[in-house]
Each structure stands twice: as structure tokens, then as C-alpha cells.
Amino acid sequence: MFLQTLITGLSIGGIYALMAVGYSLVFSVLNFSNFAHGAVIMLGAYVGLALATKLNFGFGLVLAGSVAGAGIIAVLNEKLAYSSLRRRKAPSLYLMISAMGCAVFLENLVYATIGSRFYAFPEFFGRQVVTIFGSSVSLLDVGAFIFALIAILGLHLFINRTRTGTAIRAGVCDMTMCSLMGVDLNRLIAIVFLLAGAFAGVAGVFLGIKYLVYPTMGWVTNKAYIAAVIGGLGSLPGALAGGLILGVVETFVSTYISSVLRDVFSFTLLIAFLVWRPNGLMGIDSEEKV
Amino acid sequence: MDYILSIVILACINMIAVLGLSIFTGFTGLFSLGHAAFVGVGAYTSAILTYYYSVPFPLALAAGAAAAGAVSLVIGIPTLRAKLRSDYFAIAILGFGEALRVILENLEITNGARGLPGIDSFTTLPVVLLCLAAGVLVARNFLRSRWGVACIAIREDPIAAEMAGVRLFQTRLLSLVVSAVYCGLSGGLLAHFLSFIQPVMFTLLQSTQLLAAVIAGGMGSITGPLIASFVFIALPEALRVAQMWRLVAYGLLLVLIMVYRPQGLMGYSELSSLWRRKVPEPGRRQP
């Protein structure tokens, strides 16, 4: 029972981590919470769904299509809703409100056009079950967890080993200086949003397969946000750790204490972290500067 | 006629909540994505009091407002004392609002997610107008008081304000409690107007709508947000636009305002100043 709960928690935590990475990436560069990330995840899931049901694509193609779709949507989102604010150096709260507006806009646009119906992905994995240490886990859960680990590791390597990655890290430290050194900021930020969107696409497909696809599914990213805060906003290893911790802790709370109190518990954890440890476990310094 | 009357009442109830949030966001400069929860606390407290204990309506309204104020202390004391970054604060209060909703959905006395039906409908137009007028008067006097001026100073520059002797924590907390009391009052009126309340009526979406009205109406203005909230409620009803497209428009409007006119409809000015002398904009820091 204990092991079963732990593994279920880890697999949910993997999806939280995928979502939290997108949040954290944008936060580390632009220093605001991108509430529209949930909407991008939702749209990514719809793109994947359309490819899977209308065109009968296999899992790999669905994932690729959804990654591309969500990436493009995220970049467009930045160009239309954030870029002019960013150039004006508006306070980060303006960006946050704009992001909130995007989330409300996109979600209700889907409501108004596609409708509030719940859609299910075709069964890619069937109901296959693998046995680990005597406890049975669905193949999807294991796959999601492993895929999340690989994807986040890949992103980590990209950021630490490539030229573009170096530019992103420079931008995190000091935007102005970075641009003086000849980095094209617009391009850099577009890449950051493309990466965040790509992760949103992956998360959307896994969420859609595990649960269902519906317009408000993006609100699960509240959890991703909590995960990012626990790990430390702006830190990739932090996002991974925070996602896994939150997934495991939540599963334990709902198994051993009460499934109703799970969300109350998560939000309390969020507030506790914000109050006592706003930089999370591995976050960068985030004091409001004079 | 009844239909128009009910739209007007609904808009006025919403205006009271927006007025509260305007004090907190527009004048103190802190953003909240959780004020709908305070509306919910007010609604449930007053409804439970009249429904189960047949407490007189005005008393129940006052109790609802007081309860909302008290609940706001629970989140306000730790987060405001910790001097969170303003966007962290908005998220902390968002989490608080969502947690509160989950609790409302699982309590026995609130009848859970099914909602509380059959509340007596005491809220009439004169009652609402009286509350709104009193609310505007109190807000105006509050903002002209020592405390109100301190709030505005904090909005303009928290560090300079603190150096000038304004107590950041106490002033912000007071502003939060005042705004929560307004929201609680609005909730009590709402419950006794619709005669049915449900936890899902007080979610993040409603918080966003309140915030949208404040931002669209203009920061640092009382009349601006009031006009905006009236337009937000009345216009879609009058035009009979589908509920969904209204929300699509809300979202779009928030983005457009942030991009093109972040000061909102009446930023830093009042309706009355349009035909009086032109009030110079307070010294806003250049970006």
C-alpha cells in the first residue's frame, strides 16, 4: 500500500513537474507568474486530441504535434500580450494581470467555440499494468514519470551546455547587460516561451490521457504553481523536486487522511512556503528591490 | 420591469464588492485574486444566520461583513507581515480563496457543493442603494483620513512611505480588512437577493471579475471602478450576449487595458473632477 501510494504520487508529481518547469522558465526570465500557462496546456491537449481523433495519429506524432502547437501558441501569447509591456518595462503585476486575462480569454474561447464537453483520448496504452516491487502500476504512470525525467534532464542540459542556454542564463541574471552583450532579447524570450510551450504540450497530452480534456483542465496548473514555489520559482531542479514532493505528499494525504482535504492541504502548503520560505528549496533570491 | 430591476440590484451588489477591492488594489496598491472568497464568507455567514437561526436581516448582514473581515485577518496577518512581493501576495490570497471554497464545499452547515436554497429574499432596491451610498460615503471618508492617506502613500512608494513613518503592516492590514468587510456586505446582500448560494459562485473567476472592474475602471479612483462594474454587469445582460462570450470579452479586455491603457478608464481621477478643476495626477514614478 505504502509503495503503491509512493509510485502513484511520483507519477502525478512527474506531470506537476512538467507543468512547473514551464512556469519556472518564464518566471526566471521575465520575473512574473505566467497564469496563461494553464491555458496553453489546455490548448496543447486539444491539439493532441484533434490529431489523435481526427487524423488517427499514433502517440509519438500526437505528442510531437501537441508540443509544436503549444509552443507556437505560447510564443504568440508572448508576442501579443506581453511583449509591449515588457518593452515598456511595466511592473510585473501588469504582466500578471495580462496573463490572467489571457487565461480567462483562451479558456472561455474554447468554451464558446468547442463547448464544455469532456473528451477522452483514444487508449494509447490500453490498461497495461507493470509490476514494480510487488505493486502494480499502470504503464501510463510509469511512462509519464520517465518521460518527465528525461525531458527535464534534456532541458537542463540544453540550458547548461548550449550557446542559447548560456544566453538564457545570462538573461536571468541581467536582461539589460545581456542585451548589451549582443543577445537579441526578443529572440531569446521567444525561445524561452517556445520551450515553456513545448513542455506545456507534453503536460497537456499526459494530463488529457490520464484524465480527460475539457476547457478548465488548465486550472490543474495551480498545483504546478505550488510545485514551482516549493522548489523555488525560477529554478529547474527546484521545479522537478517541488513537483515530485507535491505529488507524493498529496497522494499520501488523500490516501491516509482525506481526499477532500487534499486541496486545502496543498494551498496551505503554498501559503506556508510563501510566508516562511518564499525562495523555496532551491530558488534564486527574490527580495523586492528598492 | 422586474427584470431591469434585478439587473440594477445585481449590479449595485457587485459595485459594493468592487468598491472594497478598489480600496485595497486601487488605493493601497496590493493585488488580490481571492476577494470572491470574502464575498462567499459574507454570503454564507449571513445566509446561515437568517436561515437556521432566524436572526434579523440587518444583524445578519453586519455579522457577514464582520466575519469576512475576521477571515481576512487569517490570511492577512502572516502574508502582510512577511512583506511578500506583491505578486506572491496575490498568489497567496488566491490559494487562500480556493482553500476556503473547498472548505465551504465540504461543511455540513453550508450544505456542501449543492448549495443553500430557500434563503429569504430580503434584499430590495432601497436596501441595496442605502448600502451602496453608505459604502461610497465611508470609502470616501476613509481615503481622506490619516489611514487612507497612508494607504495611498504606500501605493506610490512603500519604502518612502515607511521612511516617512507609515506603518506598512498595520496600514495594509487595515486596508485588507476594510475591503473584506465591503465584500462580506456584498455577499450578504447577494445571498438574500438570489435566495440561493453555492460555493462555485465564489471562485477565482469571480475574483478575476472583481479585479477586472477595478483595473478597467482605473486604479486610485472610486467612481471609475463603480462605472466599470456597472457596465460589466448591465451591458451583457442588456444586450443578451451569451454568458460565455462575456467572459471571453473580460479576458480580452484585461489584456487590452494592460497593453494600451494600464491606468484604466478613470485612473487617479474621479467623475466629479471632470467638471471641476483638473486634478493633477499624483507623482507617478516614471517607468
Residue B174 has pLDDT above 80, yes or no: yes
Q: Name, in order, each residue with C-beta under 8 angstroms of A180's C-beta and a sequence gap of 6 or more.
A: none
pTM of the model: 0.82
Question: Do the bridges between strand B116-117 and strand A129-132 make them parallel or antiparallel, or are there none, so unpaired?
Answer: unpaired
CA distances from B279 to A42, B184, B222, B263, B287 (A): 46, 33, 15, 15, 22
- Report angle CA A140, A232, A86 to the nearest 5 degrees: 100
Out of A92, A105, A274, whose CB is closest to B251?
Answer: A105
Q: How confident is the model at residue B222 (pLDDT cuts 50, 70, 90)?
A: confident
Q: Name, in order, each residue with C-beta under 8 angstroms of B88's C-beta and a sequence gap of 6 or more.
A: A274, A278, A286
Query: What burial class does residue A4 get, using C-beta atoms within 10 Å of its C-beta: 0-12 exposed, 13-18 middle, 19+ buried?
Result: middle
Domain boundaries along the sequence of chain A: 2-276
Distance from the Cα of residue B225 to its chain's centroid: 10
- Chain A residues within 8 A of B248 when measuring between CB atoms: 104-105, 108-109, 112
Please answer yes or no on whether A108 and B247 come within 8 Å at the CB atom: yes
Contacts 24+ apart (CB under 8 A), A132-135: A132/A3, A132/A7, A133/A3, A134/A3, A135/A3, A135/A4, A135/A7
Q: What is the pLDDT of residue A68?
A: 92
What distance in Å separates the CA atoms of residue A15 and residue A208, rounded to the nearest whole number? 11
Backbone φ and ψ of B78, nearest 5°: -65, -45
Please answer yes or no on whether B259 and A84 come within 8 Å at the CB atom: yes
B interface with A, Cβ–Cβ < 8 A, is 31, 33, 75, 78-79, 82-88, 90-92, 94-96, 98-99, 102-103, 106, 159, 204-205, 208, 211-212, 215, 242, 244-245, 247-248, 250-255, 258-259, 262, 287
pLDDT in tens, chain A (290 residues): 777 888 888 888 888 888 888 888 888 888 788 888 889 999 999 998 888 888 878 888 888 999 999 999 999 998 888 888 888 877 777 888 888 889 888 888 888 888 778 888 887 766 677 776 767 777 777 888 888 889 888 888 888 888 888 888 888 888 788 888 888 888 888 999 999 999 999 988 888 888 888 887 877 777 888 888 888 877 788 888 888 888 888 888 888 887 777 878 888 888 888 878 777 777 655 444 44
Average pLDDT over residues B181-191: 93
Residue B38 has pLDDT above 50, yes or no: yes
DSSP A285: P
Average pLDDT over residues B151-168: 89
**What residue has cell string 471641476?**
B276
Cross-strand partners of B196: B117
Out of A90, A260, A286, whose CB is closest to B262?
Answer: A90
- Does A32 lie at the interface with B, CB-CB under 8 angstroms? yes
Please answer yes or no on whether B252 and A98 come within 8 Å at the CB atom: no
Which pLDDT tens digit goes with each residue over B226-279? 888 888 887 777 666 666 677 788 788 888 888 887 777 776 677 666 655 444
Kindly report the nearest CA distance between residue B156 and chain A, in angstroms.
13
CATH 1.10.3470.10 fits A2-276, yes or no: yes
Please answer yes or no on whether A290 and B248 come within 8 Å at the CB atom: no
Q: In a mutagenesis test of the B interface, which of A100, A113, A284, A290 is the best target, namely the one with the most B β-carbons within 10 Å?
A: A100
Count residue pairs from A and B with Cβ separation < 8 A.
Answer: 135
What distance in Å separates the CA atoms of residue B1 and residue B7, rounded to the nearest whole number? 10
- Chain A residues within 8 A of B29 when measuring between CB atoms: none
- Does A176 lie at the interface with B, CB-CB under 8 angstroms? no
Query: For chain B, what is the mean pLDDT?
Result: 84
Chain A, 229-258: which have a CB under 8 Å from a chain B CB?
229
Out of A92, A104, A290, whose CB is closest to B208?
Answer: A104
Q: What is the ipTM of this complex?
A: 0.79
Kindly report the nearest CA distance between residue B228 and chain A, in angstroms.
16
To the nearest 5 percent, what fractions of chain B are helix, strand and coil?
A: 75, 0, 25
To the nearest 5 percent, what fractions of chain A are helix, strand and coil?
A: 75, 5, 20
Q: In a mutagenesis test of the A interface, which of B71, B258, B284 is the best target, namely the one with the most A β-carbons within 10 Å?
A: B258
DSSP for B19-62, written as a single string:
HHHIIIIIIT----S-HHHHHHHHHHHHHHHHHHH---HHHHHH
Q: What is the largest CA-CA distance in chain B?
A: 56
Please answer yes or no on whether A101 and B33 come within 8 Å at the CB atom: no
CA distances from A218 to A210, A245, B25 (A): 14, 20, 26
Backbone φ and ψ of A28, nearest 5°: -65, -30
